[in-house]
Amino acid sequence: MKQLIAVLLVGCALVCFSPVDGFTGDTAGVATDEALPEEVLLDDEDLFAEYETQGQATQAVADPLYYFNYAMFSVNDVLYFYALKPVAQGYKAVVPTVARKGISNFFNNLMFPIRFANNILQGKGERAANELGAFVVNSTVGVLGFYDFAQRHMDINLPDEDLGQTLGVYGIGDGFYLVLPLLGPSTLRDTVGRLGDSFANPITYVEPWELAWGMRGLDQVNTVSFRIGDYEALKEASLDPYVALRNAYIQNRKSLIKE
């Protein structure tokens, strides 16, 4: 059991390329991943959708810790290919798409407090109301959120919101670019936001801690099982994957803050 939890923990830590919120969609009639390309991707701008413009992107965030960041990027790169990707591929091979979609919906519903609180803090009353309504409906009719009834039958979409975005809305700058060991690309502001959001994350309060980390690992491995190939595509299409990922992350965060 401890070995399984350790594997899932590695999976959780290594997902430096995909935030966990924002999965929606129907679980009925889904036979393959290719049948639902939009539904299994993250809400708002996908992080890797930005890499095609990395040649034109202007670095707007300082990178004074370049050598440290590049070293952490290299470590994360190795861990992705030799740990996370094999685990996600094995998971994808044995867990049906419908089940994986249900798990995505469950964790998206579970992250309601983070999105709701940050919508309130940003003064987005309509989005906050949609969040509350979707949470109630999906938690009941949707059976603990495994089925996204609100999105499928009420056309309620739930854009990703987090404290890093909230701080950005109020004019707090990125600070500087930072690649976190195991956790991946971030900025000083978003790192502070990540810590703040942890207090609104229900998984933080799950006991014992092994179960909490197992849940995090399951969520992240499940997420990556839909996204195998994204990081590889970024590397193949860019002369400098480090710069491409940095620009993609920064541009994606800026677009989320503007919405």
Tell me, yes or no, whether 32 lies in a domain: no
42: left (phi over 0), alpha (psi -120 to 50) or beta: beta
Q: What is the pLDDT of residues 202-228, one digit of tens each?
A: 999 999 999 999 999 999 999 999 999
Chain-centre distance for alpha carbon 173: 21
Number of domains in the chain: 1
pLDDT at 182: 84
DSSP code per residue over the chain = -HHHHHHHHHHHHH--S--S-------TT--SGGG-TTTTSPSSS-GGGGGGGTTT----SB-TTHHHHHHHHHHHHHHIIIIIHHHHHHHHHHS-HHHHHHHHHHHHHHTHHHHHHHHHHTT-HHHHHHHHHHHHHHHHTTTTTTS-HHHHHH--------HHHHHHHTT----BEEEETTTEEEEHHHHHHHHHHHTT-GGGG-SSHHHHHHHHHHHHHHHHHTTTTHHHHHHHH-S-HHHHHHHHHHHHHHHHHH-
Tell me, yes or no, whether 29 lies in a domain: no
Tell me, yes or no, whether 40 lies in a domain: no
- Which domain range does residue 150 map to? 2-20+45-53+60-258
Residues with pLDDT less than 50, the chain: 1-45, 50-58
Tell me, yes or no, whether 25 lies in a domain: no
pLDDT at 97: 97
pLDDT at 59: 53
pLDDT at 3: 41
Tell me, yes or no, whether 30 lies in a domain: no
